[in-house]
Amino acid sequence: MNAEALISELVAELDDAGLRGSFLVRDLRSGREIGIDPDITHPVASLIKIPLAAATAERIRRGELDGATELLVLPGQVTTPGPTGLSRFRHPARVAVDDLMYLAMALSDNVAADSLFGITPPAEVTRMLREWGLRGITARHRVGDLSETPAERFDTADVHLAHSLAIGAATAGRGHPIAQLDVTRANSGSARDFVNLLQALWTPSAIDGGVAERVRELMGANLIRHRLAPDFSSDASTWSSKTGTVLNLRHEVGVVEHAGGGVFAVAALTESRVPAATQPEAEALMARVARVLHDRLRTG
């Protein structure tokens, strides 16, 4: 099967499952790549924590911040399912900047991320991305805004109604009455934009080598491993990644490093037409599509 036929088949599988999305796999050694609609801009949810971590690490390198500085973090007191870490704390805590970076990346802790945005605002993160020559990803708002969607206004039994609203209210131009799903108001980027960021973190680039190493370490510590990780982790490979989820959007971007020497950046940004909060079949399918694209690229 040629690449065009393979992509058509994968798109049909996604559509049958109520999914559409953007995928891109790039061989970071040769530059060869294969993808599905990789240039469509999406709201990126918690994927924005990768550039946030890079910007924070860069400011530490410059001496503008001290990673040992403790910040007073007010409790998130979140009671809805999903958020982790400080987001569920009931009492104030003092946490070092370095440790907030770990919590934001490894646990996808929104309160930790917003503590970091408090000292490096979204506009500054975007400015630093442009300084590094990365022009697609835009940070516009705090991560905590992701927990202020219609889903939080319904009881658990009725959360499908929020997903129905998310699915049905989108416009052809990728606008949306829900700000977190509107690409002109949300933190945004494409699969290609994130693969470009991963390439800048895994290969020599304008990003300082020590900063890149710190972000790679944080992505390697990711504890959320139910999405792409089952298809990319093994005794012969390591998978370093970050997930992003809000309403009907499910994303993951990462790098798989094979013991044999191959290094591939992978981005999967998807949206579902199925009004359900829990969709293990969607998680498994997006992983399978990403893996098929990877295998096709790896084997030539």
- The answer to whether residues 162 and 247 touch, using CB atoms and an 8 Å cutoff, is yes
d(CA 88, CA 44): 23
Residues 6+ apart with CB under 8 A from 283: 226, 227, 250
Q: Which of 85-89, 152-156, 260-264 has the lowest mean pLDDT?
A: 152-156
More confident residue, 1 or 209: 209
- The answer to whether residues 122 and 139 touch, using CB atoms and an 8 Å cutoff, is yes
Cα 185 versus chain centre, distance: 17
Indicate the average pLDDT of the chain. 88
Q: How high is the pLDDT of residue 67?
A: 98
d(CA 248, CA 280): 13
* Mean pLDDT, range 145-152, rounded to an integer: 51
d(CA 122, CA 44): 14
Encode pLDDT of 239-251 as tens digits: 999 999 887 899 9
d(CA 22, CA 45): 15
Encode pLDDT of 66-79 as tens digits: 999 999 998 766 65
Handedness of CA 175, 179, 181, 187 (dihedral sign): positive
Encode pLDDT of 176-187 as tens digits: 556 667 778 889
Encode pLDDT of 80-107 as tens digits: 556 778 888 889 999 999 999 999 999 9
Whether 167 has a pLDDT exceeding 60, the answer reads no
> In which band, very low, low, confident or very high, does the pLDDT at 161 lie, cut at 50, 70 and 90?
very low
- Closest by CA position to 69, among listed 30, 107, 120: 120
What are the Cα distances from residue 162, in Å, to 158, 206, 247, 267?
8, 41, 8, 26
More confident residue, 247 or 228: 228
d(CA 90, CA 71): 16
Q: How high is the pLDDT of residue 147?
A: 53
* Mean pLDDT, range 149-159, rounded to an integer: 45
**Residue 254: both structure tokens together:** 């990462």
Share of the chain above pLDDT 70, in %: 85
Q: How high is the pLDDT of residue 176?
A: 52
d(CA 51, CA 121): 12
Share of the chain above pLDDT 90, in %: 70
Q: Name the amino acid, one letter, at 253.
A: V
d(CA 208, CA 223): 26
Q: How high is the pLDDT of residue 139?
A: 97
Helices 49-62/110-119 angle, 10° precision = 40
Q: How high is the pLDDT of residue 248?
A: 82
Give the H or E element holding residue 12.
helix 3-16
- The answer to whether residues 131 and 247 touch, using CB atoms and an 8 Å cutoff, is no
* Mean pLDDT, range 132-148, rounded to an integer: 84
Q: How high is the pLDDT of residue 279?
A: 79
Give the H or E element holding residue 269.
strand 263-272
Q: Which of 10-14, 226-230, 274-278 has the lowest mean pLDDT?
A: 274-278
Q: What DSSP string describes 146-193?
A: GGSSGGGGS-GGGHHHHHHHHHHT--TTS--SSGGG-TTTS-EE-HHH
